[in-house]
Homo-oligomer: A and B are copies of this chain.
């Protein structure tokens, strides 16, 4: 019996989450004898709860193909975590009600750890509520912190952006250091895990002797050691490039970014580990500095996405549909690393019960003994993930990204308040 599929994007978006959407929709279209239509949740799971379902059949093949090179969440995402079933059974019941009303037999949820938990619960409860739905999670997170999968789609492209930006800025600073800026600080994402910050170390390699110092969230900030190291790098190389994770923190768990900066009215000033680190360097060492905060630029930088990442993002979406057609449920599609040299990978699957609520931190053996750089094994892990370029088409000098029609289905149910 032909059933429809539901697809939604969850949490912070990435430059390649739409490539996963592309993989889901293109693959479903190839199997229209089994999957009738793909309905996308407008603004993620909220779209399912409120019956705001986007009819993707109204989008042309060309526009769906263009999702592969378009950053952001084409159907809208949300930061909204379903509560546990015991606390809020009514939301799960509503989901099933919506699925019933629109003959939805497949639930594809594209997100990080929290979403994996939701996806798992949907898979568990749907049978009990008399309308079994195959629920498959598609991994996505720039934070690279999902377990079991070797890496997470979205991360490779951020890693490439950060490594490349750190290299380019380092070339810039190197040429200015004689009379001007000697310390450059780049703040990157990753509140809990230092994967993104680690990528900054790739700016340096055998051919590029760039002095990089990294501040990981996993390593308690030691101001004295840090300043001594920066001073040493400036003295040996003429300049120093610092990559600071937004999650870098003091021993007591307080973020560097919460240093207590206040505006003229005495209000706490939000954000910015980079200016805090800059202030320390200026105060202790007196070096001229510049700082940058990449923020959303890093995770939306589809123009310099990793080809490996794009291919993997597409593949985990495609495989989710294929595995659903094979009868799978309550799993997450994953990336298995087969070999490093040459880098080979294949798609696998993980039991969702083992994914939900597990965070994968940087292993200790990936951080150098002084705490300010990565080890060769970390480099070996990271390098394949940033390989290859996958340029979008350009029009009028800028990337030609697609904006879909996003037309909603007619509602069949009563309003639902969340």
Contacts and interface: CB of A to CB of B under 8 A. Distances in A.
A118 to B, nearest CB: 15
A138 interface: no
A283 interface: yes
Q: How many copies does the complex hold?
A: 2
Interface string A322-351: 000000000000000000000000000000
A286 interface: no
Interface residues of A, number: 87
Interface string A158-171: 00100111011101
Interface in A374-414: 383, 386-389, 391, 394, 396-399, 401, 403
Contact of A263 (B160, B172, B260): B260
A279 B263 contact: yes
B70 A171 contact: yes
Contacts of A174: 72, 76
Count chain B CB atoms within 10 A of each CB in A75, A175, A279, A302 and give the residue with the most. A175
Given A386-B398, A398-B386, A168 B279 contact: no
A92 interface: no
A205 B396 contact: yes
Nearest to A379: B396
Count chain B CB atoms within 10 A of each CB in A160, A172, A179 and give the residue with the most. A172
A383 B401 contact: no
A15 to B, nearest CB: 8
A127 B163 CA distance: 49
B73 A175 contact: yes
A203 B208 CA distance: 33
Given A261-B263, A292-B297, A176 B13 contact: yes
26 contacts: A15-B168, A43-B178, A72-B171, A72-B172, A73-B176, A78-B176, A78-B180, A163-B398, A167-B398, A171-B401, A202-B397, A260-B264, A261-B261, A261-B264, A261-B269, A262-B262, A262-B264, A267-B279, A269-B269, A269-B279, A271-B278, A275-B275, A291-B293, A292-B292, A386-B397, A386-B398
Top 6 closest A-B pairs, CB basis? A73-B175, A260-B264, A72-B171, A386-B397, A292-B295, A168-B300
